[in-house]
Amino acid sequence: MTPSSDRNRTGLGGLQLLLFFFVLFTLFMTAGLPLIIHYAGGEWKMTAPDQSATAAFTWLGIGCFLWILVLILFINNFILSQFRKKRLLERLLQNGRHARGSVVQKQVLQAGGRGELLTLKVAFRNLVDAEVETYLSIVDSEPLQNRFAVGKTVSLLLDPDMGDPPVMIQGKGFQWNRPVMTLITLVLLILLTLAPGLLIYSYMQESRGYGWRYLGFGHPFVLIPFILGLELVVYTVIRKWAGTKRKASRLLLYGKPATATIINTAQTGLYINEQPQVRFTIEFEGSRGRMHQASFKQVVDLLKIPDIAPGKTLTILYDPEQPDQIQPLD
Protein backbone atom coordinates (compact mmCIF):
# COMPACT_ATOMS: atom_id res chain seq x y z
CA MET A 1 0.00 0.00 0.00
CA THR A 2 3.01 2.21 -0.29
CA PRO A 3 2.40 5.41 -2.28
CA SER A 4 5.03 6.05 -4.88
CA SER A 5 5.83 8.14 -7.89
CA ASP A 6 5.71 6.81 -11.42
CA ARG A 7 9.43 6.14 -11.22
CA ASN A 8 9.34 4.82 -7.69
CA ARG A 9 6.70 2.10 -7.73
CA THR A 10 7.59 -0.29 -4.96
CA GLY A 11 7.70 -4.01 -5.32
CA LEU A 12 8.40 -6.49 -8.07
CA GLY A 13 6.57 -9.75 -8.65
CA GLY A 14 9.20 -11.83 -6.87
CA LEU A 15 9.43 -9.49 -3.89
CA GLN A 16 5.65 -9.35 -3.55
CA LEU A 17 5.40 -13.13 -3.67
CA LEU A 18 8.10 -13.37 -0.99
CA LEU A 19 6.22 -10.79 1.09
CA PHE A 20 2.96 -12.75 0.80
CA PHE A 21 4.68 -15.96 1.83
CA PHE A 22 6.43 -14.30 4.78
CA VAL A 23 3.21 -12.72 6.08
CA LEU A 24 1.21 -15.93 5.75
CA PHE A 25 3.98 -17.97 7.35
CA THR A 26 4.18 -15.49 10.25
CA LEU A 27 0.42 -15.65 10.74
CA PHE A 28 0.50 -19.44 10.75
CA MET A 29 3.34 -19.63 13.26
CA THR A 30 1.85 -16.90 15.47
CA ALA A 31 -1.86 -17.76 15.35
CA GLY A 32 -2.41 -21.04 13.52
CA LEU A 33 0.15 -23.12 15.38
CA PRO A 34 -1.03 -22.14 18.91
CA LEU A 35 -4.62 -22.92 17.88
CA ILE A 36 -3.64 -26.32 16.48
CA ILE A 37 -1.58 -27.22 19.55
CA HIS A 38 -4.32 -26.12 21.95
CA TYR A 39 -7.36 -27.69 20.30
CA ALA A 40 -5.69 -30.73 18.73
CA GLY A 41 -4.08 -31.65 22.02
CA GLY A 42 -7.40 -31.55 23.81
CA GLU A 43 -5.90 -31.27 27.31
CA TRP A 44 -8.57 -28.73 28.22
CA LYS A 45 -11.17 -31.52 27.85
CA MET A 46 -9.53 -33.66 30.51
CA THR A 47 -9.64 -31.25 33.45
CA ALA A 48 -12.18 -28.82 34.79
CA PRO A 49 -11.21 -25.11 34.75
CA ASP A 50 -9.56 -24.23 38.08
CA GLN A 51 -9.18 -20.46 37.81
CA SER A 52 -10.86 -18.24 40.37
CA ALA A 53 -13.50 -15.83 39.14
CA THR A 54 -11.16 -12.89 39.79
CA ALA A 55 -8.32 -14.50 37.85
CA ALA A 56 -10.67 -15.46 35.02
CA PHE A 57 -11.92 -11.91 34.52
CA THR A 58 -8.37 -10.59 34.87
CA TRP A 59 -7.17 -12.82 32.01
CA LEU A 60 -10.23 -11.86 29.99
CA GLY A 61 -9.35 -8.19 30.44
CA ILE A 62 -5.69 -8.83 29.58
CA GLY A 63 -6.69 -10.70 26.43
CA CYS A 64 -9.04 -7.94 25.29
CA PHE A 65 -6.40 -5.30 26.01
CA LEU A 66 -3.76 -7.21 24.03
CA TRP A 67 -6.06 -7.63 21.03
CA ILE A 68 -6.89 -3.90 21.05
CA LEU A 69 -3.17 -3.10 21.31
CA VAL A 70 -2.39 -5.40 18.37
CA LEU A 71 -5.05 -3.71 16.21
CA ILE A 72 -3.79 -0.23 17.13
CA LEU A 73 -0.16 -1.13 16.35
CA PHE A 74 -1.11 -2.85 13.09
CA ILE A 75 -3.30 0.01 11.85
CA ASN A 76 -0.68 2.60 12.83
CA ASN A 77 2.25 0.75 11.26
CA PHE A 78 0.67 -0.51 8.07
CA ILE A 79 -2.27 1.78 7.27
CA LEU A 80 -2.00 5.20 8.92
CA SER A 81 1.75 5.35 8.28
CA GLN A 82 1.11 4.93 4.56
CA PHE A 83 -1.30 7.84 4.51
CA ARG A 84 1.22 9.93 6.46
CA LYS A 85 3.90 9.01 3.95
CA LYS A 86 1.55 9.87 1.09
CA ARG A 87 0.92 13.32 2.57
CA LEU A 88 4.65 13.89 3.05
CA LEU A 89 5.41 12.91 -0.52
CA GLU A 90 2.59 15.09 -1.84
CA ARG A 91 3.97 18.01 0.15
CA LEU A 92 7.43 17.29 -1.24
CA LEU A 93 6.07 17.26 -4.80
CA GLN A 94 4.40 20.64 -4.20
CA ASN A 95 7.01 22.43 -2.08
CA GLY A 96 10.26 20.57 -2.69
CA ARG A 97 13.29 22.31 -4.16
CA HIS A 98 14.21 21.14 -7.63
CA ALA A 99 17.76 19.98 -8.24
CA ARG A 100 19.74 18.17 -10.90
CA GLY A 101 21.69 15.08 -9.95
CA SER A 102 24.14 12.78 -11.68
CA VAL A 103 24.15 8.99 -11.34
CA VAL A 104 27.55 7.99 -9.94
CA GLN A 105 26.85 4.32 -9.34
CA LYS A 106 24.08 1.91 -10.30
CA GLN A 107 23.32 -1.52 -8.87
CA VAL A 108 20.52 -3.80 -10.09
CA LEU A 109 19.12 -5.63 -7.07
CA GLN A 110 16.39 -7.53 -8.90
CA ALA A 111 14.92 -7.66 -12.38
CA GLY A 112 11.40 -8.71 -13.25
CA GLY A 113 8.54 -8.23 -15.64
CA ARG A 114 7.59 -4.94 -13.99
CA GLY A 115 11.06 -3.45 -14.19
CA GLU A 116 14.30 -3.39 -12.25
CA LEU A 117 14.83 -2.69 -8.56
CA LEU A 118 17.81 -0.34 -8.43
CA THR A 119 20.07 1.27 -5.88
CA LEU A 120 21.56 4.48 -7.25
CA LYS A 121 24.37 6.59 -5.88
CA VAL A 122 23.51 10.13 -6.93
CA ALA A 123 25.64 13.25 -6.68
CA PHE A 124 23.95 16.66 -6.46
CA ARG A 125 24.33 20.14 -5.03
CA ASN A 126 22.42 20.53 -1.78
CA LEU A 127 20.54 23.54 -0.42
CA VAL A 128 23.78 25.37 0.49
CA ASP A 129 25.31 24.63 -2.93
CA ALA A 130 27.69 21.95 -1.66
CA GLU A 131 28.40 18.83 -3.70
CA VAL A 132 27.07 15.76 -1.84
CA GLU A 133 26.13 12.17 -2.63
CA THR A 134 23.35 9.89 -1.43
CA TYR A 135 21.87 6.47 -2.18
CA LEU A 136 18.33 6.12 -3.58
CA SER A 137 16.32 2.93 -4.09
CA ILE A 138 13.87 2.99 -6.98
CA VAL A 139 12.04 0.73 -9.40
CA ASP A 140 12.79 1.53 -13.03
CA SER A 141 9.62 0.57 -14.89
CA GLU A 142 11.27 1.10 -18.29
CA PRO A 143 14.82 -0.30 -18.02
CA LEU A 144 15.29 -0.50 -21.80
CA GLN A 145 15.37 3.31 -21.92
CA ASN A 146 18.51 3.22 -19.75
CA ARG A 147 17.45 6.41 -17.93
CA PHE A 148 19.56 5.69 -14.85
CA ALA A 149 22.86 4.63 -16.38
CA VAL A 150 26.05 5.92 -14.77
CA GLY A 151 26.62 9.50 -15.89
CA LYS A 152 22.96 10.19 -16.65
CA THR A 153 21.29 13.30 -15.24
CA VAL A 154 18.21 12.86 -13.06
CA SER A 155 15.69 15.36 -11.71
CA LEU A 156 15.52 15.48 -7.91
CA LEU A 157 13.27 17.01 -5.28
CA LEU A 158 14.86 18.18 -2.01
CA ASP A 159 12.78 18.64 1.14
CA PRO A 160 13.83 21.81 3.06
CA ASP A 161 12.00 20.42 6.13
CA MET A 162 14.25 17.34 6.11
CA GLY A 163 11.38 14.87 5.94
CA ASP A 164 11.62 11.18 5.20
CA PRO A 165 12.76 10.89 2.48
CA PRO A 166 14.73 14.18 2.29
CA VAL A 167 15.60 13.49 -1.36
CA MET A 168 13.65 11.68 -4.05
CA ILE A 169 13.71 11.33 -7.81
CA GLN A 170 11.01 13.48 -9.34
CA GLY A 171 8.02 11.52 -10.65
CA LYS A 172 4.66 12.19 -12.20
CA GLY A 173 2.26 11.20 -9.45
CA PHE A 174 1.23 8.49 -7.03
CA GLN A 175 0.22 4.91 -7.53
CA TRP A 176 -0.89 2.62 -4.73
CA ASN A 177 0.64 -0.83 -4.61
CA ARG A 178 -2.57 -2.84 -4.96
CA PRO A 179 -1.20 -6.31 -4.12
CA VAL A 180 0.36 -5.03 -0.88
CA MET A 181 -2.78 -3.04 -0.05
CA THR A 182 -4.83 -6.19 -0.59
CA LEU A 183 -2.53 -8.14 1.71
CA ILE A 184 -2.76 -5.54 4.46
CA THR A 185 -6.56 -5.47 4.19
CA LEU A 186 -6.69 -9.27 4.32
CA VAL A 187 -4.54 -9.42 7.46
CA LEU A 188 -6.63 -6.70 9.11
CA LEU A 189 -9.83 -8.63 8.38
CA ILE A 190 -8.25 -11.79 9.81
CA LEU A 191 -7.33 -9.98 13.02
CA LEU A 192 -10.77 -8.36 13.31
CA THR A 193 -12.44 -11.74 12.80
CA LEU A 194 -10.04 -13.86 14.85
CA ALA A 195 -10.36 -11.96 18.14
CA PRO A 196 -14.17 -12.13 18.64
CA GLY A 197 -14.43 -15.47 16.82
CA LEU A 198 -11.88 -17.10 19.10
CA LEU A 199 -13.50 -15.61 22.19
CA ILE A 200 -16.96 -16.91 21.24
CA TYR A 201 -15.73 -20.31 20.02
CA SER A 202 -13.57 -20.94 23.09
CA TYR A 203 -16.42 -19.99 25.43
CA MET A 204 -18.81 -22.36 23.67
CA GLN A 205 -16.29 -25.22 23.69
CA GLU A 206 -14.42 -24.78 26.95
CA SER A 207 -16.57 -23.00 29.52
CA ARG A 208 -18.72 -26.07 30.42
CA GLY A 209 -20.67 -23.97 32.90
CA TYR A 210 -17.57 -22.48 34.55
CA GLY A 211 -17.69 -19.14 32.74
CA TRP A 212 -14.29 -17.68 31.80
CA ARG A 213 -12.32 -19.82 34.26
CA TYR A 214 -10.59 -21.70 31.45
CA LEU A 215 -8.64 -18.57 30.45
CA GLY A 216 -4.94 -18.25 31.28
CA PHE A 217 -1.70 -17.03 29.74
CA GLY A 218 -1.33 -20.22 27.68
CA HIS A 219 -4.79 -19.93 26.15
CA PRO A 220 -4.76 -18.83 22.47
CA PHE A 221 -7.02 -15.85 23.24
CA VAL A 222 -4.22 -14.41 25.41
CA LEU A 223 -1.12 -16.03 23.94
CA ILE A 224 -1.73 -15.10 20.28
CA PRO A 225 -2.12 -11.33 20.80
CA PHE A 226 0.81 -11.40 23.22
CA ILE A 227 3.10 -12.83 20.52
CA LEU A 228 1.63 -10.57 17.81
CA GLY A 229 2.09 -7.56 20.08
CA LEU A 230 5.76 -8.40 20.65
CA GLU A 231 6.32 -8.79 16.92
CA LEU A 232 4.64 -5.47 16.15
CA VAL A 233 6.56 -3.63 18.88
CA VAL A 234 9.85 -5.01 17.52
CA TYR A 235 8.80 -4.06 13.99
CA THR A 236 7.93 -0.52 15.16
CA VAL A 237 11.31 -0.08 16.84
CA ILE A 238 13.20 -1.43 13.82
CA ARG A 239 11.22 0.75 11.40
CA LYS A 240 11.92 3.90 13.38
CA TRP A 241 15.57 2.97 13.85
CA ALA A 242 16.01 2.21 10.14
CA GLY A 243 14.20 5.36 8.98
CA THR A 244 16.03 8.43 7.81
CA LYS A 245 17.50 10.22 10.80
CA ARG A 246 16.86 13.95 11.03
CA LYS A 247 20.53 14.72 11.75
CA ALA A 248 21.60 12.71 8.71
CA SER A 249 18.98 14.51 6.60
CA ARG A 250 20.22 17.90 7.79
CA LEU A 251 23.80 17.00 6.93
CA LEU A 252 22.74 15.82 3.49
CA LEU A 253 20.70 18.95 2.70
CA TYR A 254 22.59 21.67 4.59
CA GLY A 255 26.03 20.17 5.20
CA LYS A 256 29.26 21.51 3.74
CA PRO A 257 32.36 19.51 2.84
CA ALA A 258 35.67 20.12 4.55
CA THR A 259 39.11 18.55 4.79
CA ALA A 260 39.76 17.29 8.31
CA THR A 261 43.01 16.24 9.96
CA ILE A 262 43.03 13.09 12.09
CA ILE A 263 44.22 13.92 15.62
CA ASN A 264 43.74 10.55 17.24
CA THR A 265 42.35 7.08 16.55
CA ALA A 266 41.46 4.30 18.98
CA GLN A 267 39.81 0.94 18.48
CA THR A 268 36.52 0.55 20.37
CA GLY A 269 36.92 -3.21 20.77
CA LEU A 270 33.96 -3.94 18.50
CA TYR A 271 34.53 -6.02 15.37
CA ILE A 272 32.06 -6.27 12.47
CA ASN A 273 32.83 -8.95 9.88
CA GLU A 274 36.27 -9.24 11.50
CA GLN A 275 36.95 -5.56 10.80
CA PRO A 276 37.64 -3.25 13.78
CA GLN A 277 35.49 -0.28 14.68
CA VAL A 278 37.63 2.81 15.22
CA ARG A 279 36.85 6.04 17.04
CA PHE A 280 38.27 9.04 15.15
CA THR A 281 39.03 12.43 16.67
CA ILE A 282 39.44 15.03 13.95
CA GLU A 283 40.02 18.74 13.54
CA PHE A 284 38.82 20.90 10.67
CA GLU A 285 38.32 24.53 9.67
CA GLY A 286 34.72 25.71 9.41
CA SER A 287 33.22 28.15 6.93
CA ARG A 288 33.95 31.11 9.24
CA GLY A 289 37.59 30.27 9.68
CA ARG A 290 37.19 28.73 13.14
CA MET A 291 38.80 25.40 14.01
CA HIS A 292 36.48 22.67 15.26
CA GLN A 293 36.98 19.24 16.75
CA ALA A 294 34.61 16.30 16.40
CA SER A 295 34.62 12.54 16.76
CA PHE A 296 32.90 9.64 15.04
CA LYS A 297 33.05 5.86 14.87
CA GLN A 298 33.63 3.88 11.71
CA VAL A 299 34.46 0.30 10.76
CA VAL A 300 37.85 0.25 9.02
CA ASP A 301 39.34 -2.35 6.70
CA LEU A 302 42.44 -3.87 8.27
CA LEU A 303 44.41 -3.11 5.11
CA LYS A 304 43.60 0.60 5.50
CA ILE A 305 44.81 0.97 9.09
CA PRO A 306 48.04 2.73 7.96
CA ASP A 307 45.93 5.33 6.12
CA ILE A 308 44.20 6.53 9.31
CA ALA A 309 47.25 7.44 11.34
CA PRO A 310 47.28 10.84 13.14
CA GLY A 311 48.18 13.58 10.71
CA LYS A 312 46.38 11.99 7.77
CA THR A 313 43.49 13.85 6.20
CA LEU A 314 39.98 12.86 5.14
CA THR A 315 36.98 14.57 3.63
CA ILE A 316 33.94 15.15 5.83
CA LEU A 317 30.51 16.72 5.62
CA TYR A 318 29.72 19.02 8.55
CA ASP A 319 26.77 21.08 9.75
CA PRO A 320 27.75 24.79 9.87
CA GLU A 321 25.17 25.38 12.63
CA GLN A 322 26.36 22.38 14.70
CA PRO A 323 29.98 21.70 13.75
CA ASP A 324 30.16 18.63 15.99
CA GLN A 325 27.68 16.92 13.64
CA ILE A 326 29.85 15.43 10.90
CA GLN A 327 29.84 12.56 8.45
CA PRO A 328 32.96 11.12 6.78
CA LEU A 329 32.85 11.03 2.98
CA ASP A 330 36.03 9.05 2.32
Span 26-53, pLDDT tens digits: 999 999 999 998 888 777 776 667 778 8
Give the phi and the psi of residue 291 in degrees, each rounded to 5. -90, 140
Positive or negative CA dihedral for 237, 242, 243, 248? positive
pLDDT at 11: 41
pTM: 0.70
pLDDT at 15: 61
Residue 259: in which H helix or E strand, if any? strand 256-272
pLDDT more than 70, % of the chain: 90
Average pLDDT over residues 155-160: 91
Residues 260 and 238 sit within 8 Å (Cβ to Cβ): no
pLDDT at 2: 37
Q: What does the pLDDT look like over 180-233, one tens digit per residue? A: 888 899 999 999 999 999 999 999 988 888 888 888 898 999 999 999 999 999
* Helix, coil or strand: residue 106: strand
* Helix, coil or strand: residue 237: helix
Give the phi and the psi of residue 5 in degrees, each rounded to 5. -80, 175
pLDDT at 50: 73
Burial 32-46 (b: 16+ CB within 10 A, else e): eebbeebbeeeebee
